[in-house]
Amino acid sequence: MRWNLVDMLRGIAVLLVLFRHHPSGGVLGEVGWLGVDLFFVISGFLVSGLIFDEARATGRFMALRFLIRRAFKIQPSFLALIGITALAMWATDRQDPPLNYIAELLFFQNYHEGLWSHTWSLAVEEHFYLLVVGCTAALLRWRIKLTWRAFFISCVLGMFFFTTLRALTWTAHPFQVLTHFYPSHLRMDSLLAGVLLAGWHRHRPVSFSAFFHTGRSYLLLLAVLLFLPTVLLPFGSFWMYTIGLSTAYVGGMVLVGLAVERSTSMEHGSRDPLSKGLAWIGGISYNTYLWHLFVLLLVEMVTQRFGLQHGWVELAGFVALALLAGWLTTVLVERPALRIRNAVVPSWQRSITRIKREGGHGEGDPQ
């Protein structure tokens, strides 16, 4: 199922990142880094939701198939970026240490410098996928069934654990982005918040719907208030880095929950141009995020030649071209890769449908 308003949130998140990385981003640029945290919550919700659905419907979880399908989603566009980057460096006689390439390709660029400063977030997500997939496979293999209460407590304790690690890291070392902001073991709580939200949505749908349906305006105000600490406190300060990041992902949980509930209750997606535009941007957000710094470098080369750097003209051109690059790579790289994926490694839903058509029942197939 695709939630139109969740796509809108993804669109808002990637626009925040674009403004963050441009000198003329203004107020949106100051708070634009929150777009990544919003991405984390959304990703945790969507990815873990796929796992919950498969485990509940089939009684098992094909971990390898899941990881292969995620690789088809993530890797083609990412490898295209790394390949084009390598060619651009060769053409301009620039060199990066080989370990920077290895860090990108093996997804530890959030612990060692890679080729790009923004791909650290991909590493966090990849590490989190492996963690969640491993935990799910282990629970099913050992036939351990978590009650909703045990699941809730586990997620909350996990989020508290990561916040504690951030506090200890901040007190042990002077704040630096590479050592405090990028590492997976310090940022996974945002993704875990999305997992908790997905568990609530799948296992307690009635209370989920009732909570987010009642008092939507108050919940929206609550989300804004939860984001305020990260906006008002100095970036890198102790309280912003610990409590602020935590309240930010709780605010993200509220926004995603509202978007899911509202999308479910709407018969059709929103038809106003702004909503449709944001949802469209959300649909190409991954590729836009991947390519936006590459685009920014090219735009700055052109605008510097004409004396238009760091102004609104450059900002508008950068946003437009970043979205164009995101759309082109979505159409030319991601979608063909997904078609190949669906043919070679079909989803569990399609596998069940095929088995039923053949007149049999797979293991764990509901009868």
Are 251 and 223 in contact by the 8 Å Cβ rule? The answer is yes
Are 259 and 10 in contact by the 8 Å Cβ rule? The answer is no
Q: Which helix (H) or strand (E) is 216 found in, with range?
A: helix 216-232
What would the two tokens of residue 185 be?
Answer: 């073991």
> What secondary structure letter does DSSP report for 234?
P
Q: What is the pLDDT of residue 290?
A: 98
From the number of C-beta atoms within 10 Å of its C-beta (0-12, 13-18, 19+), residue 241 rates as buried
Give the HSE-up count for residue 289: Cα atoms under 13 Å, Cβ half-sphere: 25
Are 128 and 184 in contact by the 8 Å Cβ rule? The answer is yes
Q: What would the DSSP string read from start to end of 75-133? A: HHHHHHHHHHHHHHHHHTT----HHHHHHHHTT-TTTS--S-SSTHHHHHHHHHHHHHH
What would the two tokens of residue 235 be?
Answer: 């970036």
Distance of CA 173 to the CA centre of its chain: 28
Provide the total of helices (H) and of strands (E) in the chain, helices listed first: 17, 0
From the number of C-beta atoms within 10 Å of its C-beta (0-12, 13-18, 19+), residue 254 rates as buried
Task: Give dist(CA 202, CA 196) in Å, integer.
Answer: 10
pTM of the model: 0.92
Contacts of 342 (CB under 8 A, 6+ apart): 350
Q: What is the pLDDT of residue 364?
A: 38
* Per-residue model confidence as pLDDT tens for the chain (367 residues): 678 999 999 999 999 999 999 988 888 888 898 999 999 999 999 999 999 999 888 888 999 999 999 999 999 999 999 999 999 999 999 989 999 999 999 999 999 999 999 999 999 999 999 999 999 999 988 988 889 999 999 999 999 999 999 999 999 999 999 999 999 999 999 999 999 999 999 999 999 999 999 889 999 999 999 999 988 999 889 999 999 999 999 999 999 999 999 988 776 666 788 999 999 999 999 999 999 999 999 999 999 888 888 889 999 999 999 999 999 999 999 999 999 999 999 988 776 665 455 554 443 333 2
Question: Other CB atoms closer than 10 Å to residue 63's CB: what's the count?
Answer: 18
Q: What is the pLDDT of residue 215?
A: 87
Length of the chain: 367
Task: Give dist(CA 362, CA 351) in Å, integer.
Answer: 9
Are 14 and 163 in contact by the 8 Å Cβ rule? The answer is no
Task: Give dist(CA 238, CA 354) in Å, integer.
Answer: 54
Task: Give dist(CA 331, CA 336) in Å, integer.
Answer: 7
Which runs of E-coded beta strand occur in the chain? none
Are 79 and 104 in contact by the 8 Å Cβ rule? The answer is no
Residue corresponding to tokens 């209750």: 265
What would the two tokens of residue 146 be?
Answer: 């978590």
Are 254 and 219 in contact by the 8 Å Cβ rule? The answer is yes
